[in-house]
Amino acid sequence: MSTEPKKYTGEGARKLGLVRAFWKPALAVLVLTLISTAIATTEPLLQKYYFDALTGGDPAAWAQGWTVEKVMLSLLAGMVGLVVISEAIQFVSNYLNWRLRTNIDARLLDAVSTHVYNLSMAFHDKER
């Protein structure tokens, strides 16, 4: 039995080979995207509580005994904080995403140009 890793062939394997070296940034982009999605799903909930407090509705369980002003200010601060955190995550995610894309593009360009340069002169003469 061979101890060498199995070599996969085909279109998918070639694409995976280009991305394999950059799995950590790709995983970081995925995790940041999931965190950003989780933050985006909590914003409407905070807005609901805010408008409930504004219209005099029942306060949330965590806000029992608070004044309306205190509830509204804390919810507003929470919404602003989520926006700031979300934008910071988007900034880092976009930076990593573009860095990942340019690294993969450079690797692909290097592979194609190396392949073309290693072709024989007979091939180039035939293709003229």
Cα–chain center distance at 127: 43
Predicted confidence at residue 6, as pLDDT, reads 55
Predicted confidence at residue 125, as pLDDT, reads 77
Predicted confidence at residue 49, as pLDDT, reads 83
Predicted confidence at residue 8, as pLDDT, reads 56
| Region label for 82, one of left (φ > 0), alpha (ψ between -120 and 50) or beta (otherwise) | alpha
Predicted confidence at residue 4, as pLDDT, reads 55
Predicted confidence at residue 97, as pLDDT, reads 94
Predicted confidence at residue 69, as pLDDT, reads 82
Rounded CA gap, 47 and 75, in Å?
8
C-alpha closest to that of 48 among 32, 37, 59: 59
Q: Where are the domains of the chain?
A: 22-127
Predicted confidence at residue 91, as pLDDT, reads 96
**In the block, residue with structure tokens 């919404």:** 79
CB 93 within 8 A of CB 32: yes
3-class secondary structure for the chain? CCCCCCCCCCHHHHHHHHHHHHHHHHHHHHHHHHHHHHHHHHHHHHHHHHHHHHHCCCCCHHHCCCCHHHHHHHHHHHHHHHHHHHHHHHHHHHHHHHHHHHHHHHHHHHHHHHHHHCCCHHHHHHHC
Which residues, given as ranges, of the chain have pLDDT below 70? 1-9, 59, 62, 127-128
Rounded CA gap, 30 and 115, in Å?
32
